[in-house]
Amino acid sequence: MTESVDASAVRAEVDQFRASIAALKGEIAKTIVGNEAVVEGVLVCLLAGGHALLEGVPGLGKTMLVRTLSESLSLNFSRIQFTPDLMPADILGTTVIDDSQAGGKVFEFRKGPVFSNIVLADEINRATPKTQSALLEAMQEHRVSVGKRTYVLDEPFVVLATQNPLEMEGTYPLPEAQLDRFFFKLHVPFPNRDELHAILDLTTGEARGQRQAVLHREEILRMQALVRRVPVARHVQDFAIRVIQATHPDGPDAPEMVKRFVRFGASPRGAQATLLAAKIRALFEGRFAASIDDVRAVVLPALRHRVLLNFEGEAEGMKTDQVLESILKTIPETKAGKAEAQVGLS
């Protein structure tokens, strides 16, 4: 009896989860045309408590997507325009001397724009490495250390960074350590003809209506907690591990393309991102258990920025997506272990 009650309660939670996501996607679609995969990827990052790096040429709506998301969620939002002269204090905040009520002077910390639920780091690769690294602690540990004090950031906290892959002059490529902090790297594609028609109809016609907040902070935190409860079968988790191992040239299942073109593979943080994203995709589909197909579906955005090509790979014009696709084609879904072999022998 208890099991049936628990099952019905879980089903109700999953149905509510899907209804909330559908309402959120519908609100976003009032402003953002197409790009369903990018929108879904950003939502996955939000529900996983991670961060997204959006890459695409100017004018594709990356900034508008982030702003629309924040307005649809009723969360605090701040935008940081990254420039070469931006300093860490411009992001984190600074300590100033202020007048006290007693007439003396006191030191007061004034919080920077990073103290928001959703932070848009616009053109993040235009700032110097010193400024880029100011986000590292906030992104990984959801807290900020200034002087001798540590400030905890309010949850949910997500950094959505954008960068332009075309202009390299005057930019500072993100170091591998910071790239690894991003849960997903999402490519924003150029719209097709029908989408361009819809964009023009939407942006050159009458004024658009105001967006409504369809989800609030407490609901998002409950959805994040539900994600963590989604079970993963051992063979599904083992498949994700074998995919991660195959990204390393010296890995036991590394295909020939990896051995030839890859310098260094994905970190354990990549395995965490893959598994969490697979859980969220299962909930999107109305299932309370992650499958191998869920893992396959999230490998590219979860690992494409964590696999580093060697000189030959760069010279040949290889893309990390090609390497990851070759891994997914060669890695079997199941792999017999010693225990299974012993059962077979007996």
Q: Quick one: which H or E segment has residue 303?
A: helix 292-303
- Amino acid 168: pLDDT: 64
Total-model pTM: 0.85
- Amino acid 340: pLDDT: 40
- Amino acid 1: pLDDT: 39
**Domains detected in the chain:** 230-346 (1.10.8.80)
Query: Which is it for the CA torsion 335, 338, 340, 345, positive or negative?
Result: positive
For 308, phi then psi, to 5°, come to: -100, 125
- Amino acid 2: pLDDT: 43
Closest CA to 313 of 249, 265, 261: 261
- Amino acid 271: pLDDT: 93
CA angle 62, 68, 71 (to 5 degrees): 145
- Amino acid 4: pLDDT: 47
How would you write the pLDDT of the chain (346 residues) with one tens digit per residue? 344 447 788 888 888 999 999 998 888 887 877 778 888 999 999 999 999 998 887 777 777 888 888 888 888 888 998 888 888 888 888 877 776 666 667 777 788 888 989 999 888 888 888 888 888 878 888 888 877 788 888 889 999 988 877 666 667 778 777 788 899 999 888 878 887 887 787 777 666 666 778 888 899 999 999 999 999 999 999 999 999 999 999 877 888 898 899 998 898 999 999 999 999 999 999 999 999 999 999 999 999 999 999 998 888 888 999 999 999 999 887 765 433 433 333 3
**How many Å apart are CA 2 and CA 12, to the nearest integer?**
15
Q: How many other CB atoms are found less than 10 A from the CB of residue 309? A: 18
Tokens 């990052």 -> residue: 45
**How many Å apart are CA 135 and CA 153, to the nearest integer?**
12
- Amino acid 344: pLDDT: 36
Q: Is 56 helix (H, G, I), strand (E, B) or coil?
A: coil
Number of H-type helices and E-type strands within the chain: 16, 11
**H helix intervals, 74-206:** 88-92, 129-132, 136-141, 176-179, 193-203
- Amino acid 197: pLDDT: 80
